[in-house]
Amino acid sequence: MLKYISAIAAVFMFTLGFTSTTQAATSRSSWVVNEIYQYNHPFASQLPQELATKMRKMTVSPFAFYRGTAHIFYRDMQTLPGSAFVNSATSAIWLEGDMHMQNLGGMRDSNDNNVFDTTDFDEGYLGPYVWDLRRMAVSILLAAKENGLSSSDAQDIVRNFLDTYLNKMSDFKGTNDELSYRLESGNTNGVVKDLIQKASNNSRSDLLDKNTILDNNGNRVFQTTSVLEPVSSSTYSDISNAMSSYIASIPSSKRYSNSYYTLKDIRLKLGSGTGSLGKYRYYLLIEGPSSATSDDRILEMKQEGSSAVAIAVPGLLPTSVYGNHEGERVTVATKAMLSNTDPLVGYTTVNGIPFMVHEKSPYQVDFDYTLLTTKSKFMDAMGYAGKVVAKNHAISDKDYDAAIIPDSVDKEVTDIVSGNKSEFKDEIVNFALDYAAQVEYDYASFVNAYNQGVTLY
């Protein structure tokens, strides 16, 4: 606990000692290339082809590069000036950790509500609330530029994102409204409403048809495709043996009968995401609620490492919170920041490697920022994004577990920004402008190294 308190104090001093959050962008080619190598090299021996895919994906655009390099962002958060709008209570809250537009999406929660929410908590950790806002603001600027919008329009979109975040935090202050708050088709419009409706129109049978077949004996098994590879018999056995600890990680109140989790088939899943490429990801076919093949479930089992946020604030999240298990850390973060969480969320260990497990939901559709072709479409969508981030932060405070976050984050954020909203927005926008320029420098350095055949992993 003393370590925990001293870490908070360190962040507190780090974030309050500055009035400026900006720093001129510079070329730092060798540093960037080394950071990418050091972060990715530990996975080179297990899935080099996936790392090759990752590097290729990151060459597409500055935004794609930014998606794949959260570790560089937090290396910079370790040294860049902090925010004038952070105090001790807001310096160590639950962060999504990799807040960008493609970690939002349409989904269905466990109460069958079709919603727009956050879809990925691999980097979930504690830190100053502004880090989620900064990371999203930079992603907005990069994506808006890619979509052909002007810098002025992009800055307006960031300000709208921040306005809706602050307004929703203010709405939550003094209430428990955040616990039931959700964005549905009835209170959204535009691209976000379309996304929610698209997700709601999906079906479990469509997902099963896409990924599985019935074999000659009428048993459902995975297809073998370029992105679904069979695993060795030893890997199959190791994962099968790890199922009992996964089941045990699910609270008894949400646990189904053992037959529900009967393992029917396994595939190595290739090519998914960007930042997580190089880590093991498996699809597990399980029996589901009955012995019929039509209601089988697909689990996604993702290898987890330490959070990139921990690069900037090592030890800020006590290991006791997550049993020193990175899969459990992601599970806890997911439960903290989502309402009506997937009852299949859990974790396990295979050959000493930590994994997080959750359902591969038929009802999850990733957000497509390329649809935001006009300022008005972008403004609308990022207004909803601001509300989602506010909800994430507000429900994961003492409402979730006061032993981790003892304060009301919605109250603390509202109070610290009160009367200074304009300055707050200026601070985030100025940071984002400078940092987006830095990302473009870093992207150019990376592409140059990639084209020259420099070893990147």
Domain boundaries, the chain: 2-199+369-451, 202-359
**What is the predicted pLDDT for the residue at 24?**
78
pLDDT beyond 50 at 2 = no
The whole-number average pLDDT for the span 13-18 is 33
Q: What's the pLDDT tens digit per position in 397-420? A: 999 999 999 999 999 999 999 999
pLDDT beyond 50 at 7 = no
3-class SS shares of the chain: helix, strand, coil, % to 5: 55, 15, 35
Q: What's the pLDDT tens digit per position in 328-368? A: 999 999 999 999 999 999 999 999 999 999 999 999 999 99
Nearest in space to 326 (alpha carbons), one of 283, 279, 265, 359: 279
pLDDT beyond 50 at 6 = no
Cα–chain center distance at 156 = 24
CB 122 within 8 A of CB 98: yes
pLDDT beyond 50 at 9 = no
Q: What's the pLDDT tens digit per position in 215-233? A: 999 999 999 999 999 999 9
Lowest mean pLDDT among 17-26, 204-213, 239-248: 17-26
Q: In the structure, what pLDDT confidence band is assigned to residue 18 with cuts at 50, 70 and 90?
A: very low
Q: What is the CA radius of gyration of the chain?
A: 22
Q: In the structure, what pLDDT confidence band is assigned to residue 15 with cuts at 50, 70 and 90?
A: very low
The strand order across the sheet containing 281-286 reads 228-229, 263-269, 281-286, 297-303, 353-359, 346-350
pLDDT beyond 60 at 438 = yes
CB 125 within 8 A of CB 330: no
**What is the predicted pLDDT for the residue at 13?**
33
pLDDT beyond 60 at 164 = yes
Q: How many CB atoms lie within 10 A of CB 249?
A: 19
pLDDT beyond 60 at 5 = no
Beta bridge pairs of residue 366: 105
Q: Residue 229: what are its φ and ψ, rounded to 5°?
A: -100, 140
Distance from C-alpha of 180 to C-alpha of 457, rounded to nearest angstrom = 44
Q: What is the mean pLDDT of the chain?
A: 94
pLDDT beyond 90 at 14 = no
Say which amino acid occupies 430: N
Q: What's the pLDDT tens digit per position in 104-157? A: 999 999 999 999 999 999 999 999 999 999 999 999 999 999 999 999 999 999
Assigned token pair, 390: 């506010």
Percent of the residues in the chain that have a pLDDT greater than 90, as a whole number: 94
Distance from C-alpha of 302 to C-alpha of 282, rounded to nearest angstrom = 7
Lowest mean pLDDT among 1-15, 195-209, 322-336: 1-15
Residue identified by tokens 């994506």 is 143
